[in-house]
């Protein structure tokens, strides 16, 4: 193996793959049977890059040669960059050697589209197949579904991969037309449907025959670029909601657009990455998946963008003050989850601790709640002096300023007497 | 007041707890013999001889009320090497005996229980970090070798994880702070306790021929997968605290 050449390829093809956000390695269910690797437990981040992102998988492109010219993509045909391609054996060797040293949980293999969709997909499947059948590799494998790939190839891919994903990239169809004129939405949706159908079939068969071969056990995910076109947040979370509900997506990722090229259809090359907006979208995503919020509770037509100043849950609470205060001792789990400053874990701890005693604000602090926000929305059995601010027109300001409550002012006046 | 001295083992600790009840001491504390200095001159000393049978009786009784996961939590407190570990575990056992029909480890409003929950969280986090941050280096004899220096004694907690994962390669993990390790030889996976500290000077000279090459490849991957426009040093250090860097291949040059 020519080491210098491999190193150069790795540098080119890792650099081109880095814009894919997903690095999740959870949900795999493969146990080790005397071979290499085990993905039956939860995912592991083996390191973090300097931008603070988790590195769990070896994330590379098979090749960055591409027949498409999607304007937002570095690997687009018209871009003048160094091109490279790995052989199947090279990818397999890198994956195995990195895995044995505990650098990674597995492989995330994507690719530029060379020649046509099926040729590309077939090559991706061959890598996964070799790892599973020749090397008895039970680590995690995430393959990209190539838009337009045939149903048979998708079904075969799902036998070897733990997760499959197609990136929507542009949330709306009109945006896609503008920025990626050669691509169409339908080509992206078809592989998703095939995999979704297969997963359902697998679940049904599994009930009858225990030894049914695994079929993409970690499900599917997708990704949308935020801020390349002019969609509003309501459109974005509606799209996400649609894919969670109708395609059984495990995750939707949001990726703040990083300027890669000068083009009047795109934000200026000097534009900042919209990191805060991206963060608020993830918070909304969590609210939909773990906190029982519906998409149209988070945003509506009168308010199509997420509030950048406060998080979406606090924003909801401020718009629905009539639902508060919530009594910690008696309220149900669903409502406790809606209190700003209380997360899933704290809510569960509250439920178990309140069976033993009457909770006070001191307990809440120890249980891990963000009391500076939560205290305005909660009623305790023994009362709560902060509740008088609940009707205050300045509640939002009060919470933002954190500690500068009127309550404290009174206190400090007393202190000055001494 | 009676001070019970035990040998520092998990079974020793639970033998001591058994004997508190056996001898009906009303006012007792349990201390590790190794780091005990008598402060209270009026305390009576009770030397505990570890007896697995006694320890198991306590543990079996406990398991009925706090479950297997509860026992696991107490083991984590023990492995934390916290200065208060005896007092905390003793307190949990006393509470459990008083309320045998409840899982007292759920009562987070009690200070000792909350402390136990916090310690368990820290130990579990350290355990998880070891599964993530351990880096094996392939040696000439085809053994994949890793050295660790964890804040808590988590080696017993990661044995199964690595055994399940690397079944077809020989590997060894060595705890530099506590001078013992785990070795898997393709059949058995056992702890070993060398008489002297392993001498790790010049151990890089015993690397397998291919080792340096894969380390270099991993380092260049690590650099290239980073998005410079999104640099966030604070978040980076929060996830990978600097004290772990010395054992991370990708951080050798920083």
Could you report the predicted ipTM of this complex, rounded to two decimals?
0.91
Closest approach of chain A CAs to the CA of B79, in angstroms? 22
* pLDDT given for residue B254 in this prediction: 65
Angstrom distance (rounded) from CA B107 to CA B66: 11
* pLDDT given for residue A21 in this prediction: 83
> Taking a C-beta distance cutoff of 8 angstroms, is the pair B250, A47 a contact?
yes
The shortest CB-CB distance from A32 to any of B107, B164, B233 is to: B164
Q: Which residue has the tokens 């002019």?
A: A230
Do B131 and A44 count as a contact with CB atoms less than 8 A apart? Answer: yes
Percentage, residues of chain B above pLDDT 90: 80
SS3 content of chain B, % helix, strand, coil (to 5): 50, 15, 30
Q: Which residue has the tokens 């490849």?
A: B217
Angstrom distances, CA of residue A297 to CA of A145, A238, A239, A314? 33, 11, 15, 12
pTM exceeds cut of 0.90: no
Do A32 and B165 count as a contact with CB atoms less than 8 A apart? Answer: yes
Does the pLDDT at position B128 exceed 90? Answer: yes
Give the pLDDT band of residue B107 (cuts 50, 70, 90): confident
pLDDT tens, residue by residue, A294-304: 999 999 888 99
* pLDDT given for residue A269 in this prediction: 85
Do B108 and A366 count as a contact with CB atoms less than 8 A apart? Answer: yes
* pLDDT given for residue A1 in this prediction: 66
Does the pLDDT at position A291 exceed 90? Answer: yes
> Looking at chain B from residue 66 to 125, which residues have their Cβ under 8 Å from any Cβ of chain A?
102, 106-110, 114
> Taking a C-beta distance cutoff of 8 angstroms, is the pair A17, A63 a contact?
no
* pLDDT given for residue B231 in this prediction: 87
Prior bond of A325 cis (ω within 30°): yes
Tell me what the pLDDT averaged over chain B comes to.
93
Closest approach of chain A CAs to the CA of B167, in angstroms? 5
Interface test with chain B among A13, A261, A356, by most B beta carbons within 10 Å: A356
> Taking a C-beta distance cutoff of 8 angstroms, is the pair A223, A254 a contact?
yes
Give the pLDDT band of residue A410 (cuts 50, 70, 90): very low
Do B225 and A48 count as a contact with CB atoms less than 8 A apart? Answer: no
> Looking at chain B from residue 117 to 156, which residues have their Cβ under 8 Å from any Cβ of chain A?
128, 131-138, 144, 146
Angstrom distance (rounded) from CA B158 to CA B182: 10
Do A94 and B217 count as a contact with CB atoms less than 8 A apart? Answer: yes
Give the pLDDT band of residue A46 (cuts 50, 70, 90): very high
Closest approach of chain B CAs to the CA of A135, in angstroms? 11
List the one residue out of A281, A276, A291 whose CA is nearest residue A312: A281
pLDDT tens, residue by residue, A135-170: 999 999 999 999 999 999 999 999 999 999 999 989
* pLDDT given for residue B19 in this prediction: 96
Please count the residue pairs, one from chain A and one from chain B, whose beta carbons lie less than 8 angstroms apart. Answer: 150
List the one residue out of A362, A27, A370, A3 whose CA is nearest residue A165: A27
**Taking CB atoms and an 8 Å cutoff, what residues of chain B touch A278?**
none
Other residues' Cβ atoms within 10 Å of the Cβ of residue B93: 23
Residues with Cβ within 8 Å of residue B83, at least 6 apart in sequence: none
Angstrom distances, CA of residue B50 to CA of B16, B57, B174, B246? 8, 13, 27, 38
Pick the more confident residue, A21 or A89.
A89
The shortest CB-CB distance from A52 to any of B213, B229, B232 is to: B232
Tell me what the pLDDT averaged over chain A comes to.
89
A175-184, A255-264, A388-397, B187-196 — most confident range: B187-196
**Taking CB atoms and an 8 Å cutoff, what residues of chain A touch B250?**
47, 103
* pLDDT given for residue A383 in this prediction: 84
Does the pLDDT at position A15 exceed 80? Answer: yes
pLDDT tens, residue by residue, A196-215: 999 999 888 888 887 788 89
Q: Which residue has the tokens 């199509």?
A: A304
Does the pLDDT at position A408 exceed 60? Answer: no
pLDDT mean over A8-29 = 90
* pLDDT given for residue A405 in this prediction: 35
B48 three-state secondary structure:
coil
Do A357 and B232 count as a contact with CB atoms less than 8 A apart? Answer: no
Percentage, residues of chain A above pLDDT 90: 62
* pLDDT given for residue A407 in this prediction: 36
> Looking at chain B from residue 225 to 254, which residues have their Cβ under 8 Å from any Cβ of chain A?
225-236, 238-240, 248-250
* pLDDT given for residue A387 in this prediction: 86
Half-sphere exposure of A406 (CA within 13 A, CB side): 11
* pLDDT given for residue A416 in this prediction: 40
Do A48 and B131 count as a contact with CB atoms less than 8 A apart? Answer: no
Interface test with chain A among B95, B107, B121, B132, by most A beta carbons within 10 Å: B132
Give the pLDDT band of residue A415 (cuts 50, 70, 90): very low
pLDDT mean over A237-259 = 93
List the one residue out of B84, B96, B68, B80 whose CA is nearest residue B31: B84
Angstrom distance (rounded) from CA A172 to CA A192: 17
């Amino acid at each position: 193996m020519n080491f210098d050449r491999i190193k150069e390829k790795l540098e080119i093809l890792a650099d081109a793959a880095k814009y894919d956000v997903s690095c999740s390695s959870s949900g795999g269910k493969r146990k080790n049977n005397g071979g290499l690797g085990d993905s039956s437990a939860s995912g592991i981040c083996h390191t973090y890059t300097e931008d603070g992102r988790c590195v769990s998988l070896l994330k590379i492109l098979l090749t960055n040669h591409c027949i498409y010219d999607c304007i937002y993509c570095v690997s687009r045909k018209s871009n003048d960059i160094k091109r490279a391609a790995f052989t199947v054996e090279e990818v397999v060797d890198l994956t195995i050697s990195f895995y044995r040293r505990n650098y990674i949980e597995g492989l995330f293999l994507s690719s530029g589209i060379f020649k046509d969709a099926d040729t590309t997909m077939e090559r991706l499947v061959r890598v996964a197949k070799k790892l599973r059948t020749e090397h008895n590799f039970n680590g995690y494998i995430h393959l990209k579904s190539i838009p337009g790939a045939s149903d048979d190839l998708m079904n075969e891919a799902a036998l070897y991969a733990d997760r499959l994903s197609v990136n929507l990239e542009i949330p709306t169809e009109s945006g896609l037309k503008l920025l990626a004129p050669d691509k169409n939405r339908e080509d992206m949706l078809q592989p998703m449907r095939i995999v979704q159908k297969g997963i359902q079939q697998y679940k049904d068969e599994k009930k009858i025959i225990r030894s049914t071969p695994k079929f993409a056990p970690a499900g599917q995910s997708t990704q949308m670029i935020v801020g390349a076109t002019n969609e509003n947040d309501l459109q974005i979370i509606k799209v996400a909601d649609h894919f969670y509900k109708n395609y059984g997506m495990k995750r939707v990722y949001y990726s703040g657009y990083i300027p890669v090229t000068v083009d009047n259809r795109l934000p200026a090359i000097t534009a900042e990455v919209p990191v805060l907006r991206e963060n608020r979208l993830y918070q909304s995503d969590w609210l939909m998946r773990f906190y029982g919020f519906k998409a149209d509770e988070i945003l509506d037509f009168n308010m199509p963008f997420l509030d950048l100043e406060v998080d979406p849950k606090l924003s909801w609470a401020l718009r629905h003050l009539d639902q508060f205060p919530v009594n910690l001792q008696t309220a149900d789990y669903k409502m406790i989850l809606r209190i700003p400053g209380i997360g899933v874990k704290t809510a569960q701890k509250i439920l178990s601790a309140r069976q033993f005693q009457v909770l006070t604000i001191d307990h809440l602090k120890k249980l891990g709640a963000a009391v500076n926000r939560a205290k305005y929305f909660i009623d305790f059995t023994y009362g709560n002096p902060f509740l008088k601010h609940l009707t205050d027109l300045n509640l939002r300001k009060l919470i933002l300023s954190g500690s500068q409550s009127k309550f404290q002012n009174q206190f400090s006046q007393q202190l000055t007497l001494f | 007041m009676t001070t019970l001295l035990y040998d520092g083992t998990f079974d020793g600790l639970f033998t001591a707890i058994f004997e508190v009840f056996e001898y009906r001491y009303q006012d007792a504390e349990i201390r590790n013999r190794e780091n005990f200095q008598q402060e209270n001159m009026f305390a009576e000393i009770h030397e505990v001889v570890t007896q697995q049978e006694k320890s198991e009786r306590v543990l079996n009784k406990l398991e009925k009320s706090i479950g297997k996961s509860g026992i696991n939590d107490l083991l984590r407190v023990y492995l934390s090497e916290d200065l208060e570990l005896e007092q905390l575990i003793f307190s949990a056992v006393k509470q459990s005996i008083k309320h045998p029909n409840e899982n007292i480890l759920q009562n987070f409003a009690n200070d000792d229980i909350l402390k136990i929950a916090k310690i368990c969280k820290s130990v579990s986090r350290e355990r998880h970090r070891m599964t993530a941050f351990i880096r094996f280096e392939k040696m000439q004899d085809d053994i994949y070798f890793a050295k660790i220096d964890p804040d808590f004694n988590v080696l017993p907690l990661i044995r199964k994880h690595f055994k399940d994962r690397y079944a077809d390669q020989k590997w060894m993990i060595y705890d530099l702070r506590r001078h013992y390790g785990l070795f898997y030889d393709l059949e058995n996976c056992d702890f070993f306790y060398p008489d002297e500290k392993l001498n790790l000077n010049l151990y890089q000279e015993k690397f397998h021929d291919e080792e340096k090459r894969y380390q270099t490849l991993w380092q260049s991957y690590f650099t290239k997968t980073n998005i410079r426009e999104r640099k966030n040093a604070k978040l980076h250090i929060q996830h990978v605290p600097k004290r772990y860097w010395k054992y991370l291949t990708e951080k050798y040059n920083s």
